[in-house]
Structure 1
Amino acid sequence: MNTRNSMRLLRHATVSTLLATLLLVGCGGEKPEAMLESAKGYLAKNDPKAATIQLKNALQKNPDLAEARFLLGKALLEAGDPTGAEVELRKAAGLKYPADQVTPLLARTLLLLGQPDKVTKELAKVELSSPEARAEMQTALAQAYLMQGKNDLAETALAAALAAQPAYAPALLGQARLKASQKDLPGAVALLDAALEKSPKLYEAWQLKGDMLAFQGNAAGAMAAYGKALEAKPDYLPAQAAIIRSLLAEGKVDDAAKQLEVMKQLAPNNPQTNYLRAMLAFQKKDYPAAREAIQQMLKLTPESPLGLQLAGMIEYELKAFPQAEAYLIKALPRTPELGIARRLLITSYLRNGQPGKALAILEPVLDKIDNDSNMLALAGQVFVQNGQVEKAGSYFAKSAALDPKNAGKRTSLAMVNLAQGGDSDVAFRDLEQVAATDTGNRADLALIAAHLQRREFDKALKSIAALEKKQPDNPLAYNLRGTALLGKQDVTGARQSFEKALTVDPAYFPAAANLAKLDLIARKPDDARKRFEAVLVKDPKNGAALLALAELRAKAGGTTEEVAALVGKAVTANPTDPAPRLALIGLYLGKKEVKSALSAAQDAVAVLPEQPAILDAAGRAQQAAGDSNQALATYGKLAALKPDSTLPYLRMADIEMAAKNKEAALLSLQKALKVKPDSLEAQRGVIMLDLDAGRVKEALDVAREVQKQRPKEAVGYLFEGDAQAFRKAWPEAVSAYRTGLKAVGGNNDLPIKLHAALIAGGSTAEADRFAETWLKEHAKDARFRLYLAELASGRKDYAGAVKQYRTLLEGQPDNPAVLNNLAWVAGQMKDPKAIEYAEKANRLAPNQPALMDTLALLLIEKGDTARGLELLKNALEIAPDASQIRLNYARALIKAGQKTDARNELDKLAKLGDKFPAQAEVAQLQKGL
Structure 2
Amino acid sequence: MRISKLSSRITFGTWLLVAGIAPINYALADDVLAGQYYERALQAYREHNNEAAIIELKNALQQNERYVAAHVLLGDIYLQQKSLSETEVQLNLAKQLGADPSLIVENLAKLYTYEIRYNDLIKEIDPVKFNNELRPILHVYRGNAYLQLNQISEALNEFDSAAQIDPSHVAAVVGRANALLKRGDRKGADLAADKAMQIQPDDHGAWFAKGSIKHANMELEEALKFYDKAVELNPDHVDTRLARAGLLMDLKQDDKAKQDLEYVRKAYPFEPKAAYLNAVLLDKNKQKEAAAKELVAAADIISSIKPEYLSAHGSTLMLSGLVNYSLQRFDLAAEYLRLYVKQFPEQSGPYTLLATILLKKNEPEQAIELLRPIQIHNPQDSRLAYLLGNAFMQAGKHDMANIMFGKAAALGDGKGSLQAEIGLNRLAMGQEQAATQDLEAAYKQNPDSLQAGIPLVALKMSQGDSESALQIAQTLYKKASKNLTLLNLLGTAQVSHGQYKQARQSFEKAIELDPNFLAAQINLSKLDVGENKFDQARQRLQALNQKDPNNLDILVELAKVEQSAGRLDAASDWLERAKKLDLKSLPVLLASVDLNLKMGKVSEATAAAQAAEALDKNNLHVIDALARSYLASNNREKALGVFVRMADQARFNVKQLYKAARYQIDAGDYYEAIKTLKKAVLVDEGHIPSQIALVEMELNHGKPVFAASRAESLMKRYPKRAFPRQLLGDVALHDQNFSLANSHYQAAFELEPNTTSLMQLYDSLYKTNQPDKAFTLLEQWVKKKHSQDYVPMAAFANELLKSGNFKEAEKYYDLLLKQYPNEPQFLNNLAYTYLNLGNNKALSLAEQAHKLAPGQAATNDTLGWILVNSGQAEQGLHYLRNAHSLQSQDPEIRYHIGVALSKMQRNDEARQELEQALKANTLFNGRDQAKVLLEKLR
TM-score by length of 1: 0.44
Larger radius of gyration: 1
Between the two structures, name the one with larger relative contact order (CA 8 Å, sep ≥ 6): 2
